[in-house]
Structure 1
Amino acid sequence: MTLRESDSGYRELFEENPQPMWVCHRESRRLLAVNEAALRLYGYRREQFLELALDHLNGGETMGDPAATQDQLLRSRQLRKDGSSFQAQLVCHPCQFKGERVQLVLVCEEGNAQQEAQLRDWVVRQGSLLEAAQRELETFSYSISHDLRAPLRHIDGFSRALMDDYGTLLDGQGKEYLTRICQAAEKMSQLIDAMQQLSRVGRAELSLEQVDLSVKAQVISLELKHREPGRRVEFAIEEGVKAEADSKLVRQLLEILIGNAWKFSSKTPSALISFGAVEQQGEKAYFVRDNGAGFDMAYADKLFTVFHRLHRADEFEGSGVGLAIAQRIVARHGGRIWAESAPGAGATFYFTLGSERQSTIDG
């Protein structure tokens, strides 16, 4: 199965399916995905739905056992955006989605017992197909990344050999062509590295521990200053910000967010990059803020899409994969990530970690 076929199959199974469905994280209960049919049923836009607490949909009712490994058939009162409610049968199928332990939930307004049994069987089949499509897509991405390495090395190696051995025979235009070939091969190699990182994040086992995010942010800031000593950037890093997280993954997350802040503030005379934590609706949210180029919030829903860039490559370099990796890391922890910005006014990226649910921020 090709990538296009895998992607098409996923859309047919979930995104374009006429049955309302959504996906929630089994531990944190975060809403991770929703299809168009469910958005029409509940009356929300996608970004609004994914920011909801699960209890809000269920009117405060407990929705089954999150640790259950078998399908659950539940009766629940569901709330729409306009405040109206409806009785629904929810079929909750435990499965894997983007490397996460989730429940695939199919929503059906009140029906009879025969329909419920049919729904249960249908969700089991569709859940298995969805898992298979996700696994095949990840395997494909990883395999093709490896398969592209050898031809890229040949392109780069022979181009450099031509330059070294026959450079004196080439005019300026010929040398320019070879230079561009080498640059393109290097760019492709960087994209492959980024895709492999994205794939690894989805497969890696989480090892949760207490992590000092402030220390990691300080180290990253020093590394950036060492790499570009000519830059004059002020860092404001709140001390003692800690989280229960996977140390390696959260380091990678901060590298991406702080690295982006460093990059997009490169044209700002007095650049300032901040890191800290704030309280957002009873939970701790961490942030990385800069006073750089910023972006138009009209395109915020595309921020975490692979290869989608809001700035031209000749303005700011990058693979277009970093924020997709950041979102995957946050999702692995059962959290969410979002941004606030305006053109020319900098950007602030917020993220939460599902294991950190509290009513106050402990220093």
Structure 2
Amino acid sequence: MIVSGGVPVDIESRSYGAVHSDYTYKDQPTYSIISLQGDLIECADGKLGQSLRLTPPGDDPVLLMLQPGNNYALPTPASGTHWYVATPDAPLNTVRGFDALYAWVPPGMGAGTVFCHAFSPKEAGWLIVSDADGNELASLESDFNEPEALMFRLRTTAPEGSLIKISLLKPQNPDWTIDDAKVWLGPELPGLVAPSLKAADGIAAIARRVGIETDWTPLCDFETENPFTTIQWSKPVPEHAELPAYDVGLSGEQSFGGGNSLRVQMRFPENDEERSQELKLFTKPLPMEGVRQVRFFLYGDGSGRKIIVRVRDESQEHHYCSVGVIDWTGWKAVVADFQNATTSIAGGDENKRIDGPTGNVVIQLQHTTGNALESVLYIDDLSVRMGGAQ
């Protein structure tokens, strides 16, 4: 949680024994106050089943963190201007759901995802995303025994971005009860939520202060144009072989933010002598300078194929970033972090920078023994973050 300096925060450390008579957790809650630059300001130990008041010093916002492993701690700041962290790496732990939390969708984004994962089996929740006026955009009722994503699309967008309301309510199914759950925003959204619309108006500013960047530059939305002008296999295919084969083109079958996306179909023979193959999709030269990150949305098929994102800069220097395997079904943001992640570089002027004024984005989809013989994937909303030191 991010709170304003000088504002008291009451933290109630509830004992699970008050709810479950057969056992009681033995944790001793530990709370830390950390500056937005990462410096430890204060650390305090509480007692299970009791309340504690902390008052962060100064006027600047700070991070209030509950040490992992503690349970049922409910912080209540005296001011309504505070924000909860809700990222894939630091999800928001919720108790018995919530009526309304608000998030900010940056300019240029017309859609997003919210994830939920329940703590206990045989319970459930009803996850709802609405616009700021309360009009429902998407909903999902599930037991959330596994992490599930709820995708939403905005009805309208604004130059300054848009606010959404997120609710986790009691399921409509009368046989289900609301569960405690983890909730987080997809990586395409700033991972902060607020208790009020007024506080949500400050998410853009506070996100930048904690290092959450929102300055993405769109390259292609795949509505009318396919920028991937060169497509090739990594290994030669016999001249008259029917397989492997690919089919790549714009499609309205699936889309993330608009009406179309790029459909990528790959097919492989059952008895393939090649144990591995790779389909490489090269964009035409696109405007870019000092690229730090590349992001696109991929509709996965759970095929386990490995993805590598490459950027070829103006000097023909190649920057490679592995972004994992396709272990999900549905839409998900894929981010290649050339600034912070481990990358490899080859060729060009060897200055280890992605130089412009133009460059090519290459998406490499690998096939190995054990992968499905056919995949249909969809790619949408390609964008980059540029500028700054590399």
Instruction: Decide: shared fold, TM above 0.5.
Output: no
TM-score (norm 1): 0.31
TM-score (norm 2): 0.29
Q: Identify, as 1 or 2, the structure richer in strand.
A: 2
